[in-house]
């Protein structure tokens, strides 16, 4: 039987997923007890082999396998004691931790294998070798190296004991792990070296401001600087003896004062920073002036406030040129500039931004469109994405955006696999001067250095209700460019009001159509990334860009979302998407990066050689023609720096 024939696939496509994974071996309880016995046996064998290895190889430092799939802590390792912690520590301490911590019920966990967990590790996205990571911190470029710092728990795959992990890269893609840059070792940060930002001063100094969680769980701001500026790796960091440099103002709660931004200089020559907070339910960004980063003046006014948006974490504030393809230094001002204000909303765990105008005299910012203000309008990414931060790359004159992709599996699964979270591929950010209403995000050009063999498909016809396999071999590491044209088969006039809701099985006349990524041949697992044009009540056409994870895995405990939002498709433009597929991560960019969605998926069958790529058209009233170029992507072989 031809398993690729559209009718066969269509039948499978409409087969609803079983409520639970099909019977796979003994029931969960038995599996668990077998697993428990196997754990003990394996631990003993593991310990004996370890002793053997140590004897054979006493003087040799164990080499880290450069493959990104290496160094996976064994499924058989005993769970860390923090597993018994049922209230996540981040929640206790007033910060976002994992947002799906709840199902610590091992009975509901899928019967994962080491091979499945290994496959989930990415090949060209940044992630530590093991343990927990969250927000990107203070990225910067110094003496030929890009530096990424990140919130990192060196002891476990759950949030806690937060230090600053550190890695460097020549090209933002091939990373080398460095030793931890800062650990919680002072009364002013003993409960965590939290998120912070770098400011490069005109005389070449680097100042790093970060939030410390004190012994009393008060959030304060601290100053650190490199011990040796002539060290390109910036290995050693010195905490200023006068820390903390800022404590919560009297009208701010001690747990609502965190994540200082990069500084910028105003027309009066003073530096400014802004820090997220809230007063009652209103999200705000406090404004400070400083001349030396050691003493600060709190301004009476805030940079901006939006009622009902709650605590603002990881505020970011930066200029974008209205015309042009270059980024701007954070201190740039004057005409021809818009300012982006971004807040990570602690209540919803979503990153919202808005475009507006900054007045450096009053140190206030006004949104272009009050109906699309920070927290109530646009988002950087409509998928799994949080706590982002930009920096200005003075070497290539561009603004680079990082974001934290957190997991949608459970804390229990994270502990079993021994790691949690990934960073996005760094994205350049520009103002979209065609629409004038949004930014454009695009993977840094350096990611293209990973491209290998490519395959082209031209004008592939996808009829209503059909699925077309794309013969590219294994489809786990891809850079996909796809353009779609539609041909109306019947009048679509009376139909309106569709969105991403209902996902890819929700058929309307004009959509959905797009790609099925990380799908297996029998389509028991698949993730549709798609467009859905839809008529509106006022007679115009809106297009939604969506990702539907509801069939991405057979594992029941994984959260499965349908993500998406509208995307402007201008006169004369085709529907265009780019997708970076990297094992369990799919970053999708519509219309040159106007709308972006990051998916986090945990397939059990569509893995290794079984992962495939398909086109689909589930519209009822249009033929779709697709033209694609697809590259297989190499791994970035992220490994420790050979210090």
Q: How far is the CB of 165 from ligand DQQ (least distance, A)?
A: 12
How near is the Cβ of 213 to ligand DQQ at its closest, in Å?
8
3-state secondary structure of 113: coil
Please state, in angstroms and rounded to a whole number, the distance separating the CA atoms of residues 157 and 336: 45
Q: Which residue has the tokens 């398993």?
A: 3
Token representation of residue 76: 């058989």
How many whole angstroms separate alpha carbon 462 and alpha carbon 473?
A: 20
CB count, 10 Å around CB of 537? Answer: 7
DSSP for residue 55? H
Residue closer to ligand DQQ by CB (options 137, 416) is 137
**Helix or strand holding residue 9 (H, E):** helix 6-14
* Helical segments of 409-561, H only: 411-417
* HEC per residue, 349-380: CEEEEEEEEEECCCCEEEECCHHHCCCCCCEC
Q: Which is nearer to ligand DQQ, 141 or 404 (CB)?
A: 404
Q: How far is the CB of 372 from ligand DQQ (least distance, A)?
A: 23
Interacting residues toward ligand DQQ by CB under 6 A: 95-96, 134-135, 151, 162, 194-195, 211, 258-259, 313-314, 344, 387
Cβ atoms of 626 and 470 closer than 8 Å: no
Verify whether residue 135 is a known catalytic residue. Answer: yes
Complex with ligand DQQ: residue 149 or 575, whichever CB lies closer: 149
> Which residue number, 72 or 148, has a Cβ lying nearer to ligand DQQ?
148
Where does residue 610 rank: exposed (0-12), middle (13-18), buried (19+ CB within 10 A)?
A: middle
Task: Give CA–CA dist 197/48, Å, rounded.
Answer: 45
**Residue whose tokens read 């790093």:** 208
Joined together, the tokens standing for residue 437 give 């209403």
Least Å distance, CB 302 to ligand DQQ, is 18
The residue from 105, 135, 259, 361 that is catalytic is 135
Q: How far is the CB of 127 from ligand DQQ (least distance, A)?
A: 16
Q: Which is nearer to ligand DQQ, 263 or 403 (CB)?
A: 403
What minimum distance in Å lies between the beta carbon of 63 and ligand DQQ? 31
Report the 10 Å Cβ neighbour count for 168: 20
Separation CA 643–CA 640 (nearest Å): 8
Q: How far is CA 224 from the centre of its chain?
A: 26
Let me know how many helices (H) and strands (E) the chain has, helices first: 5, 35
CB of 494 to ligand DQQ, least distance (A): 46
Q: Smaller CB distance to ligand DQQ: residue 387 or 577?
A: 387
**Nearer to ligand DQQ by C-beta: 226 or 276?**
276
Query: Max CA-CA distance within the chain?
Result: 77
Q: What residues pair up with 262 in beta bridges, in sequence order?
A: none
**Are 485 and 574 in contact, with CB atoms under 8 Å apart?**
yes
- Which positions are annotated as active-site residues? 135
């Amino acid at each position: 039987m031809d398993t690729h024939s559209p009718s066969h696939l269509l039948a499978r496509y409409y087969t609803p997923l079983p409520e639970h994974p099909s019977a796979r071996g003994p029931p969960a309880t038995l599996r668990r007890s077998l697993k428990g016995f196997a754990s003990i046996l394996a631990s003993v064998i593991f310990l004996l082999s370890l002793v053997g290895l140590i004897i054979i190889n006493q003087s040799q430092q164990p080499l880290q396998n450069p493959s990104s799939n290496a160094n996976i802590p064994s499924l058989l390792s005993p769970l860390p004691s923090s597993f018994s912690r049922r209230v996540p520590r981040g929640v206790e301490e007033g910060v976002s931790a994992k947002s799906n911590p709840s199902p610590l019920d091992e009975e509901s966990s899928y019967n994962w294998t080491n091979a499945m967990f290994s496959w989930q590790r990415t090949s060209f996205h940044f992630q530590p070798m093991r343990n927990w990571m969250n927000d990107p911190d203070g990225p910067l470029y110094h003496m030929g190296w890009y530096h990424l710092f990140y919130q990192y728990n060196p002891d476990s795959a759950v949030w806690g004991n937060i230090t600053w992990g550190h890695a460097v890269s020549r090209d933002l893609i091939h990373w080398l792990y460095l030793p931890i840059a800062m650990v919680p070792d002072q009364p002013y940060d003993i409960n965590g070296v939290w998120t912070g930002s770098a400011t490069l001063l005109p005389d070449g100094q680097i100042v790093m401001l970060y939030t410390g969680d004190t012994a009393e769980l008060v959030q304060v701001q601290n100053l650190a600087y490199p011990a040796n500026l002539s060290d390109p790796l910036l290995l050693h960091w010195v905490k200023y003896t006068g820390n903390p440099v800022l404590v919560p103002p009297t009208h701010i709660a001690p747990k609502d004062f965190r994540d200082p931004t990069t500084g910028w200089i105003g027309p009066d020559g003073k530096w400014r920073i802004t820090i997220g907070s809230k007063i009652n339910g209103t999200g705000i960004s406090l404004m400070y002036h400083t001349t030396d980063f050691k003493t600060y003046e709190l301004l009476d006014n805030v940079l901006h406030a939006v009622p009902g948006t709650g605590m603002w974490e990881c505020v970011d504030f930066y200029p974008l040129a209205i015309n042009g393809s270059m980024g701007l230094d954070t201190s740039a001002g004057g005409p021809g500039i818009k300012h982006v204000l971004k807040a990570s909303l602690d209540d919803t765990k979503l990153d919202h931004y808005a475009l507006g105008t900054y007045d450096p005299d009053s140190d206030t910012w006004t949104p272009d469109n009050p109906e699309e203000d920070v927290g109530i309008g646009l988002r950087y990414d409509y998928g799994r994405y949080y706590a982002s931060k930009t920096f200005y790359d003075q070497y290539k004159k561009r603004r680079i955006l990082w974001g934290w992709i957190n997991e949608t599996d459970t804390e229990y699964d994270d502990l079993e696999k021994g790691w949690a979270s990934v960073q996005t591929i760094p994205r350049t950010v520009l103002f979209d001067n065609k629409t004038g209403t949004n930014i454009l995000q695009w993977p840094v050009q350096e990611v293209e250095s990973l491209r290998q063999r490519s395959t082209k498909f031209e004008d592939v016809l996808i009829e209503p209700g059909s699925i077309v396999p794309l013969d590219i071999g294994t489809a786990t590491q891809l850079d996909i460019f796809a353009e779609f044209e539609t041909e109306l088969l019947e009048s679509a006039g009376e139909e309106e009001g569709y969105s991403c809701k209902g996902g890819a099985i929700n058929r309307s006349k004009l959509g959905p159509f797009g790609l099925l990524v990380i799908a297996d041949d029998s389509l028991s697992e698949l993730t549709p990334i798609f467009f859905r044009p839809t008529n509106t009540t006022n007679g115009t056409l809106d297009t939604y860009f969506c990702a539907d994870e509801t069939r991405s895995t057979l594992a029941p405990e994984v959260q499965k979302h349908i993500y998406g939002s509208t995307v402007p498709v201008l006169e004369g433009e085709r529907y265009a998407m780019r997708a970076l597929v990297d094992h369990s991560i799919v970053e999708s960019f519509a219309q040159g990066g106007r709308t972006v969605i990051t998916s986090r998926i945990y397939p059990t069958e569509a893995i290794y050689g079984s992962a495939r790529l398909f086109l689909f058209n589930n519209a009822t009233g249009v033929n779709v023609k697709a033209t694609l170029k697809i590259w297989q992507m190499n791994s970035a072989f992220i490994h420790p720096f050979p210090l």
